[in-house]
Amino acid sequence: MSVRKPRADPGPENQMRIAIFTDTFLPQINGVVRSIVTTANQLVERGHAVAVFTMDVSKLANGQATSDLDARIPVHSFPSVALPGFAHIQARVPSLVGPLNSVRRFQADVIHLHTIFTMGVEAVWVAKLLKCPLVGSHHGFLAEYLNNFGLDFALAKDLTRRYLAFYYNRCSAVITPAEALKQELLGHKMRRPVHVVSNPISLKCLSASASKPELKRRFGMTRPTAVHVGRLVQQKSVGVLLEAFSHLRQNGVDAHLLVIGDGQDRSRLEALGHVLGLTDHVIWAGVLTGRDLVDHIAAADVFASASTTEVQPLVFLEAMALGLPAVGVNAGGVPEIVRQGGNGFMVEPANPRALAAGMGALLVDAGRRERMGDYARESVRTYDAERVVEDFERVYTSVISSCSPQQSSGGL
């Protein structure tokens, strides 16, 4: 397959054809999917051709309509089955036939993988055989999730980080949304160029349907409200957030906590909330999407998270775009987006009392949280998809220009 070489300023008149490989996609809901959809939609708006290559995740019940994806973007799905013990995760045995033929017909100029697992391995193989430039996106601190498999010890974490560097060395270039994640790769023999490119948010989609007072009346929010959005799993440290809110209540702060999301730890966390005496003060909203999600966040007053594994959390950015100051922990990529005392507060990890103090400082002072909320709204403008996608275009253009048809990515 020949590789086209667009100008350094690609645009609608100089279209690129971009093949996106991912293990997770609509109707699944997570940060990776939302980032892919926002980026792909914006690339198409700018005149490029985009196709998504993924597993057959349509059989999963939890999710949202694929109408979030631009109708001009075809989705090629390949047979897969639920991973034993993880019904929400699809898996498949790597195979070249389907993806290779589909990408060849699409005539991709560049392949962009968003996974190190099955579809990622297939992307490496396809890129090598078609001599197509390969860009890899590294989305998370994967070593921190080894406790899901009983492998939470130092050697396993080190081997995982070394494998990640080995894997992404198969790419022409690597994109990651946080400097902290870039440094982790470089610290484990990463040789390819690593570009820090923000996760994009669509600011034009982040506007509430009514004013905050009207939304509060609609949702029955009669007290200052902190909101948390995310999967209810161990790595998100929602238990620490509940303990912090308990301290807040004990200190006389009359507030509510709105928890949006679902996950395998929900029943355990609800039980913890009951033990902490929070049954009447925590609202478990479950999964919300689209306008309903935006309006619930906009109705709240403060965004809060105790998670230590965030890279560049979209929910932080989206809440800030809706005028909420954020309270998070000084870990992962959070320090790169939360400006202490400006658009929010950062506290020590695993410290419920410190987290309570951060939330309390905002929940009891309407003037302060309004000022910080205005600053939060302004501070996220640089993350708008229209700006961020220009950075993706520059990476694509660079790898296409530097890769001739005789060059290829290394194999696994």
**Residue 122 belongs to a domain:** yes
Q: How far apart are CA 319 and CA 185, in angstroms?
A: 29
Element containing residue 375 per DSSP (H, E) = helix 366-379
pLDDT in tens, the chain (412 residues): 444 444 444 444 479 999 999 999 998 888 899 999 999 999 999 999 999 999 987 665 444 445 789 999 999 999 998 877 666 677 888 888 899 999 999 999 999 999 999 999 999 999 999 999 999 999 988 777 777 667 778 888 899 999 999 999 999 999 999 999 999 999 999 999 999 999 999 999 899 999 999 999 999 999 999 999 999 999 899 999 999 999 999 999 999 999 999 999 999 999 999 999 999 999 999 999 889 999 999 999 999 999 998 988 899 999 999 999 999 999 989 999 999 999 999 999 999 999 999 999 999 999 999 999 999 999 999 999 999 999 999 999 999 998 754 444 566 7
Whole-prediction pTM value? 0.87
Q: Are 158 and 230 members of one domain?
A: no
Q: Are 362 and 391 members of one domain?
A: no
Residue 150 backbone zone (phi > 0: left; psi -120 to 50: alpha; other: beta): left
Contact present, 232 and 265 (Cβ < 8 Å): yes
Calculate ∠ Cα 237-242-244, nearest 5°.
95
Q: Are 120 and 241 members of one domain?
A: no
Domain total in the chain: 2
What 3-state DSSP class applies to 347? strand
Q: How far apart are CA 146 and CA 17, in angstroms?
A: 36
Give CB contacts under 8 A, 24+ apart, made by 191-194.
192/168
Q: How far apart are CA 49 and CA 106, in angstroms?
A: 9
**Residue 74 belongs to a domain:** yes
Give the domain range for residue 148.
17-200+385-402
Contact present, 307 and 289 (Cβ < 8 Å): no
Q: Are 168 and 237 members of one domain?
A: no
DSSP notation for 207-227? --SS-HHHHHHHHT--S-EEE
Element containing residue 256 per DSSP (H, E) = strand 256-260
**Closest Cα to residue 400, out of 38, 39, 10?**
10
Q: What is the CATH number of the domain that holds 392?
A: 3.40.50.2000
